[in-house]
Amino acid sequence: MKSVRLGIIGLGNMGLGHADNIISGKVSRCEITAVCDPAPEKIVRFPQAKGFARSAELIHSGVVDAVLIATPHFDHTVSGIDALQAGLHVLVEKPISVQKADCERLIAAWQDPKLVFAVMFQQRTDPVYRKIRELIQSGELGQIRRINWIITNWFRPEVYYKLGSWRASWAGEGGGVLLNQCPHNLDLFQWFFGMPKRVRGFCGLGRYHDIEVEDDVTAYFEYADGATAVFITSTGEAPGTNRLEIAAENGRLVFENDVLTFTKNETPMSEFSRTATKAFAAPATTESRFTFPNHGGQHVEMLQNFINAILDGRPLIAPAPEGIYSVELANAIVFSAAHNQTVELPLDAAAYEKFLQSKVATSRFKRGAKRSPGAIADDLAASYKR
Amino acid sequence: MKSVRLGIIGLGNMGLGHADNIISGKVSRCEITAVCDPAPEKIVRFPQAKGFARSAELIHSGVVDAVLIATPHFDHTVSGIDALQAGLHVLVEKPISVQKADCERLIAAWQDPKLVFAVMFQQRTDPVYRKIRELIQSGELGQIRRINWIITNWFRPEVYYKLGSWRASWAGEGGGVLLNQCPHNLDLFQWFFGMPKRVRGFCGLGRYHDIEVEDDVTAYFEYADGATAVFITSTGEAPGTNRLEIAAENGRLVFENDVLTFTKNETPMSEFSRTATKAFAAPATTESRFTFPNHGGQHVEMLQNFINAILDGRPLIAPAPEGIYSVELANAIVFSAAHNQTVELPLDAAAYEKFLQSKVATSRFKRGAKRSPGAIADDLAASYKR
């Protein structure tokens, strides 16, 4: 195999964006040989590819080696399982599923280690996030004590939610800002810090918009080693903030306004505390500032990485099984808020599924209803910010 | 009365500091005519004043018009009630008491409106905090939606807690960072934003130090109008942070690194959300930055304000009855954390008193035991930062 024959399932904003990157030659050794969407007017944009209305037809067509799943979230599970069982490589958009139980089902379908199974967490290619992770993993930061990430630069006006009745509904999307805008941030959170032991969530359901799901979130995490964290997000705030602060033994790391600042302690804070002889003394510090010329390869790098994994056995930037963690965090926050109590992790997937089913049952959006076209006129790229 | 005859009760760090300000002539129309402390070696430093070992003796001596109470926290209530009932003006150090029920008892003893009854919240004199309050009260910020205050620049090494066995104990101080370091921050919080309707606290008890009370806190507040807030503090983190972010309808206000930045929306965020026609549009903004040449009059201004209120009827910067709010917030956070549940405000003062009594009963520190001298060799002034 010199080139991967790719099928794109779902030609919404994301699917079309990925197709553009491939067709314009940004991804080597990859050709789109099939596309799938219920809308015929989208299919006809790809005369060079076979067109299908249903994902199963594409998966079993014999004209693809791999699929990119970019359907609405709920459909990731079924299409992903079908494709893996058919022996195809799979790259699935985030979130890999809308709830933990579906993630487990999807991951369980991945039985053949020769199949490449990846998730589109393209923010892992951003040099600033790679640098943060490197500072943590190398031990440069020392033990992490407290984290505060305010990521409220996801402002969406009311019209955004009017573009599709499935949007921001329990039945249509399975959740709100945590499932649609934040999977990247929650993935980075677990990529940096691992998973907490307990989660307390506070969610505003339709606080800023006429929607039934969360559009405003504050969450508190506790980790096994005693570290604590606060994660805050919203689609209602303007201007938004993206500020990540990490308080660690060896100093404080802050990312805000595209600058990463490391204020490093000459003596780790706990060691200083134990040995200081003056009651108001504090460790001396030095400051380093890092800036980054770009946001990394993003979607194109992820697509190329997927292709290189298939053809050359290169390691994945984001193996799909890691996609369960961001979903579990999102689910745990929503579950905690709904029950007004702390949730221990691992989350009880069956309990969450039952909860979600009860929400879906009374959702405004009825599954099977015709979806709105969902085409968004203005600049989608503007939403791909850090 | 041309000059106020002041008695200082308690000659610890704070009492001695206030005495210095008065003796060095920084406060007009005020003379120290009496001092009180159990330590004779402190009394002899004030040859011009009458010395007493017990507060009741000073209060009923007839040589003072007013008292400044700077004893350990637990004693504020008894001395304050005694002084008010004796017809003296009272300026009490923060916190006015260690728990809400004592605050209520103290405030109830203030029956004569001619008596001036003030609390030492000197951070209300800081121009940056006055500016923040003005931007809120004038309506310039518009409705407040979310608040995040990280105030972790209270680092204290272990030795700080070794200087007095009463420190950071349930029986000796009644609490930890929330009662000792944070009363100012909690007062500013309520001075800016009013009181929340509910509080969820998460406290680390002796997380960073060998103490029995909280030295690490994350708290989540909800307000009657739906606003949310996070308040984070610690005495274990170095380097610390002081960053206050206020997300409001008319923009975002951030105070950090001694700069106040107002990013103002041309259209309020909710109005923009309702009227925008593009799905990824956001309000245009303009940025204003404010810096302040100093921290204001601080302790001296508060002392002078107290004197001016007595002699000229000038309004107080910090009336003592407002001191109950910061205590109620501190108590609610600790109570919520201890019971692992959200607390509705107003806090049940009797329930908190019962809780505190149970903690005092098993405290490491036994009341009545001899207090350590508590003299701190290095620069106390270094601890008076924003």
Mean pLDDT for A211-222 is 98
Residues 6+ apart with CB under 8 A from A52: A34, A35, A36, A43, A58, A61
Task: List the single residue in B155, B273, B283 with the smallest CB-CB distance to A208.
Answer: B273
Q: Does the beta-carbon distance from A241 to B232 stay under 8 Å?
A: no
Radius of gyration of chain B (CA): 22
Within 8 A of A245 by CB-CB distance, chain B residues are 150, 241, 243
Q: Categorize the per-residue pLDDT at B165 as very low, low, confident or very high, splitting at 50, 70 and 90.
A: confident
- Note the pLDDT tens digit of each residue in B35-90: 999 999 999 999 999 999 999 999 999 999 999 999 999 999 999 999 999 999 99
**Per the CB < 8 Å rule, is B156 touching A222?**
no
Q: What pLDDT score does A179 carry?
A: 96
Edge-to-edge order in the sheet of strand B144-151:
B285-291, B259-265, B251-256, B242-248, B144-151, B228-234, B214-222, B198-205, B343-344
Segment A271-288, tens digit of pLDDT:
999 999 999 999 999 999
Contacts of B226 in chain A (CB under 8 A): 204, 207
Tell me if B279 and A378 make a contact (CB, 8 A cut-off): yes
CB A159 within 8 A of CB B277: yes
C-alpha distances (whole Å) from B334 to each of B93, B257, B261 are 21, 29, 32
Residue B171, CA distances (Å) to A39, B71, B92, B351, B359 in order? 72, 15, 20, 17, 8
Q: A152: distance to nearest CA of chain B, Å? A: 10
In 3D, which of B147, B165, B159, B168 has the Cα closest to residue B214? B168
Q: Which residue of B has its CA nearest to A377?
A: B278
> What are the Cα distances from residue B105, in Å, to A362, B83, B101, B350?
51, 13, 6, 12
Partnered with residue B247 across adjacent β-strands are B146, B252
A141 three-class SS: coil
Name, in order, each residue with C-beta under 8 angstroms of B366's C-beta and a sequence gap of 6 or more.
Answer: B171
Residue of B nearest to A207 (CA): B226
* Interface size between A and B, measured as CB pairs under 8 A: 181
Rounded percentage of chain A residues whose pLDDT exceeds 90:
92
In this prediction, residue B372 carries a pLDDT of: 44
The shortest C-alpha distance from A71 to chain B (Å) reads: 20
> How many secondary structure helices (H) and strands (E) does chain A include?
13, 15
Residues in B touching A208 (Cβ below 8 Å): 270, 273
pLDDT digits (tens, 9 = 90+) for B90-146: 999 999 999 999 999 999 999 999 999 999 999 999 999 999 999 999 999 999 999
* Model confidence, pTM: 0.95
Tell if the CB–CB gap between A218 and B230 is shorter than 8 Å.
yes
CB-nearest to B150 from A204, A245, A277 is A245
Closest CA relative to residue A164, chosen from B280, B269, B279 = B279
- Please list every residue in chain B whose beta carbon sits closer than 8 Å to the beta carbon of residue A220: 202, 218, 220
Looking at residue B366, its pLDDT comes to 81
Residue of B nearest to A381 (CA): B280
What is the helix (H) or strand (E) element at residue A213, kind and residue range? none
Q: Do the Cβ atoms of B283 and A383 come within 8 Å?
A: no
A375 or B41, which is more confident? B41
The radius of gyration of chain A's CA atoms, rounded to the nearest angstrom, is 22
Facing residue for B269 by CB, picked from A238, A243, A270: A238
Of A214, A179, A191, nearest to A328 by C-alpha is A179
Q: What letter represents residue A203's amino acid?
A: C
Average pLDDT, chain B: 95
- pLDDT(A385) > 70: no
pLDDT digits (tens, 9 = 90+) for A135-168: 999 999 999 999 999 999 999 999 999 988 889 9
Spell out which residues of chain B touch residue A236, defining contact as CB-CB under 8 Å.
145, 269-270, 273
Average pLDDT over residues A328-340: 98
Interchain proximity B159–A277, CB inside 8 Å: yes
Rounded CA gap, B280 and A356, in Å?
A: 28
Q: What is the pLDDT of residue B163?
A: 86
Nearest CA in chain B to A380: B280
pLDDT at B335 over 60: yes
Contact B252 A236 (CB under 8 A): no
Q: Is the confidence at residue B384, as pLDDT, over 70?
A: no
- Give the torsion through C-alpha atoms of B11, B15, B16, B19, to 10 deg: -120
Residue A373 pLDDT > 50, yes or no? no
Closest CA to A298 of A10, A13, A18, A72: A18
According to the model, what pLDDT value does residue B264 have?
A: 98
**What is the structure's pLDDT at A215?**
98
- Name the burial class of residue A362, with classes exposed (0-12), middle (13-18) and buried (19+) by CB atoms within 10 angstroms of its CB: exposed
Question: Which residue in B has a C-alpha nearest to residue A278's C-alpha?
Answer: B378
Residue B383 CB contacts under 8 Å (≥ 6 apart), including other chains? A280
Residue B378 in this model has a pLDDT that exceeds 80: no
Give residue-wise pLDDT tens across range B213-236: 999 999 999 999 999 999 999 999
What band does A366 get if pLDDT is binned at 50, 70 and 90?
confident
Instruction: Compare all CA atoms of chain B with the CA of A264 and give the residue at the minimum distance.
Output: B239
Contact B38, B372 (CB under 8 A): no
Is A247–B269 a contact, with Cβ atoms under 8 angstroms apart?
Answer: no
Whether residues A282 and B232 touch (CB distance < 8 A) is answered with no
Q: Quote the mean pLDDT of chain A.
A: 95
Q: Rounded CA gap, A205 and B56, in Å?
A: 56
Q: Which of B200, B272, B274 sits opposite A238 (nearest CB)?
A: B272
Instruction: Check whether B277 has a pLDDT greater than 50.
Output: yes
Integer Cα distance of B145 and B138 in angstroms: 16
Q: Which residues of B125-164 are buried (b: 16+ CB within 10 A; e: fewer)?
A: bbbbbbbbeebbeeeebbebbbbbbbbbbbbbbbbbbeeb
pLDDT above 70 coverage of chain B, percent: 95
Mutate to test the interface with B, among A151, A155, A249 (most CBs of B within 10 A): A155
Q: Mean pLDDT throughout B304-331?
A: 98
Say yes or no for a CB contact (<8 Å) between B282 and A252: no
Q: Are A265 and B239 in contact (CB under 8 A)?
A: yes
Q: Which of the residue ranges A110-114, A249-253, A342-346, B159-163 would you say has the lowest mean pLDDT?
A: B159-163
Which of the two residues, B164 and B287, has the higher pLDDT score?
B287
Q: Please determine, for residue B381, whether its predicted confidence score (pLDDT) is greater than 70.
A: no
**Residues from chain A contacting residue B239 (CB–CB below 8 Å):** 251-252, 263, 265, 282-283, 285
Looking at CA atoms only, how far is residue B343 from chain A in angstroms?
A: 12
Q: Phi and psi for B131 in degrees, rounded to 5?
A: -65, -40
CB–CB contact B204 A226 (8 Å):
yes
CA distance A378 to B139: 33
Contact across the interface for B265 and A202, Cβ inside 8 Å: no
